Structure 1
Amino acid sequence: MKHYQELILLPQTEVPIYFIWSKVYMQLHLALTELQATLGEGKVGVAFPEYVFDAEAKMGRLGSKLRVFAADAALLQQLDLAQHLRRYADYVQMSDIRAVPETVRGQVSFARVQVKSGAERAARRLIRRHPELDYATELTRLQGLSAHSALPFIQLQSLSSEQPFRLFIAKTVQPQAQTGDFGTYGLSSVATVPDF
């Protein structure tokens, strides 16, 4: 990854940062989906420079910065984040496309973590597949399931089902740069982005 564009979210009194994350990241997802449909592969990744997660304290946060990386500036120009985020111009400060600094702290990957469903959702899904089962009975049986994680997340809405969901994000420090495809959220458990 040789080039990047940085976004800084600007929360305001009446608009909290988590709300801005949700709106901005949905637009980024749409832009990455369009680009990936054109290219046939995911070559744009993201990083959260202010990402913090403390497993012992069971708390984390994404911060207010997002970096979008690509191997060359032309891909970021083709992504055209300014156009996709024009409605949120008051809430996002966007840098020009820049070259990654010569010296970086290392390489990291940011990956989506899917948490097991809660009991209600699991029971609904089970009943849809097996209508002969009783919802109340299955709900009682599945009560131990939890859809909670302490990982930082962005609240999004599924475009297909229109159901809200949490996009949990985990950061992993990697010993060296790894190539690979990024998904339409700019995340990958294999491919790395520079950490600086």
Structure 2
Amino acid sequence: MLTHYFELRAIPQLEITETEVINQVMQSLHQVLVNHQGNIAVSFPCYNVHRTLGGIIRLFGDEAQLQQFKTALQQQAVVSDYTLSLPITSVPTSVKGYLRLIRINPKGQSALRRAEKRLTAQGKWSAEVKSKMVEKWGSVHLNYPHLHFASKSTGQHFIMWLKQQKCATPVQGIFNSYGLSKTATVPDF
């Protein structure tokens, strides 16, 4: 149950932008969220300000879980050096609505090459199939704020595009190791 929250606010730096701070902090958050998967939700109150996620990360959960999470998070140097951590507070009783943060997975040229290789091996590849895939995948406009991650397990770098949806009613659910959910919502205030 998302009864409490606290915020991490990026501290302005001369040598690193606010967006880079949020990227680094989210990388550290992900490492700690793996152990609290399902119970901690993430939102960005300044979502889409200047087409970024803004400089504030809001974390939701119940009071005990947030306290454990915050204690573990304080041991991450990036978090303690580059953010101001506000106290854990109860979620206000009056909210504007509810939000859902969804990861958008765009298809690109590498996906087209993999599909071509797979379908050629199956004897199903043609110019018509290629044009339909380009038409379908080319229609995804990536005008969403995003995060840059580096996978600790594979070493690969990837971009996580985030789409925020407004909802009229709250939906309970489980959050992944990035604090996101395709179904569950967080309060908007």
- Give the aligned partner of residue 93 of structure 1: 84
Structure ranking higher in helix proportion: 2
RMSD over aligned CA atoms reads 2.7
**How far apart are the structure 1 equivalents of 2:79 and 2:98?**
30
Contact 1:28 1:84 in 2 (8 A): no
Q: Deviations over 1:61-112 (max 9, x none)?
A: 2111110000x21011121354243344231011111111121111111111
Q: Secondary structure at the match of 1:108?
A: strand
Determine if the alignment matches structure 1 residue 45 to structure 2 residue 46: no
- Give the aligned partner of residue 60 of structure 2: 69
- Give the aligned partner of residue 188 of structure 1: 181
- Give the aligned partner of residue 20 of structure 2: 19
Aligned length: 178
**Which segments of 5 or more consecutive residues in structure 1 lack a partner in the other structure?**
37-41, 54-58, 133-140
**Which segments of 5 or more consecutive residues in structure 2 lack a partner in the other structure?**
122-129
Q: Secondary structure at the match of 2:149?
A: strand
**How far apart are the structure 2 equivalents of 1:159 and 1:122?**
26
Contact 2:52 2:145 in 1 (8 A): yes
- Give the aligned partner of residue 51 of structure 2: 60
**Sequence identity, in percent?**
33
Contact 2:19 2:55 in 1 (8 A): no
Q: CA deviation at 1:130?
A: 8.7
